[in-house]
């Protein structure tokens, strides 16, 4: 599974927290994610009904993860509907400890489903098997194909100038052989430094996300 690009979607939604506090429709949210500096989705690919459903599913999967994160921390309640996605501040922190999770729910997906409570929609979207309703291997293959089309169609292979600029943003040596692990490590470090939740600003965080995206496209997909 191409988890690197899934991470980009989740990080981009975190940066859009101010937008979610004002409320936004799913249509407008996807439109935002299609445009720079995010550029996560491809307009042509979204004309395909299956791709459109996959986009919807992955966006909602990320939103329900954020719903749990913000509910646990007491930051607010994220209401998720296609017509309006809204982060409300009227919620108290929930002290949910790991021992409260049933033994059979120790892996991440099952734990998230448990923490989602009795909401059947949350349970549905947090289970990636529902993306295709088949095996985990098939879901992974489907996601890889999805992200290749969505993230790779228009970005293509970056030119030297764009790659060098991205390396500067992530503090990478341009002469080093780039690996996925080193790229991920530099990306997480750079994003933590500039993230709005840690005293940074949205514009710098967007630059880091865009740089990560550019360099991801230069790596050979495996």
Per-residue pLDDT, 184:
87
pTM comes to 0.67
With a cut of 50, which residues of the chain have pLDDT below it? 1, 93-111, 113-116, 221-222
HSE-up (13 A, CA, CB side) for residue 89 = 4
Per-residue pLDDT, 115:
47
pLDDT in tens, 17-67: 999 999 999 989 999 998 888 888 877 767 777 777 888 889 999 999 999
Q: d(Cα 181, Cα 183) in Å, to the nearest integer?
A: 5
Residues with Cβ within 8 Å of residue 74, at least 6 apart in sequence: 91, 92, 93, 94
Domains of the chain: 3-152 (no CATH), 160-218 (1.10.287.110)
Q: For residue 97, with 0-12 CB atoms within 10 Å meaning exposed, 13-18 middle and 19 or more buried, which class applies? A: exposed
Per-residue pLDDT, 102:
39
Per-residue pLDDT, 136:
58
């Amino acid at each position: 599974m191409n988890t690197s690009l899934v991470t980009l979607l989740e990080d981009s939604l975190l940066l859009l927290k101010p937008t979610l506090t004002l409320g936004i429709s799913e249509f407008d949210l996807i439109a935002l994610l299609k445009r720079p500096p995010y550029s996560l989705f491809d307009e042509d690919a979204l004309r395909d009904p299956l791709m459109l459903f996959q986009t919807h599913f992955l966006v909602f999967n990320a939103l329900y993860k954020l719903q749990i994160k913000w509910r646990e921390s007491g930051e607010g309640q994220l209401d998720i509907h296609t017509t309006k996605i809204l982060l409300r501040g009227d919620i108290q922190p929930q002290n949910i400890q790991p021992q409260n999770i049933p033994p059979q729910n120790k892996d991440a997906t099952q734990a998230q489903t448990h923490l989602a409570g009795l909401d059947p929609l949350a349970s549905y979207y947090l289970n990636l098997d529902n993306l295709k309703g088949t095996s985990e291997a098939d879901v992974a293959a489907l996601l890889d194909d999805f992200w290749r089309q969505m993230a790779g169609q228009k970005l293509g292979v970056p030119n030297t100038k764009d790659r060098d600029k991205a390396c500067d943003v992530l503090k990478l040596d341009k002469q080093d052989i780039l690996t996925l692990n080193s790229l991920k490590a530099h990306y997480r470090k750079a994003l933590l430094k500039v993230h709005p939740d840690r005293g940074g600003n949205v514009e710098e965080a967007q630059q880091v996300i865009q740089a990560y995206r550019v360099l991801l496209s230069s790596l050979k997909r495996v």
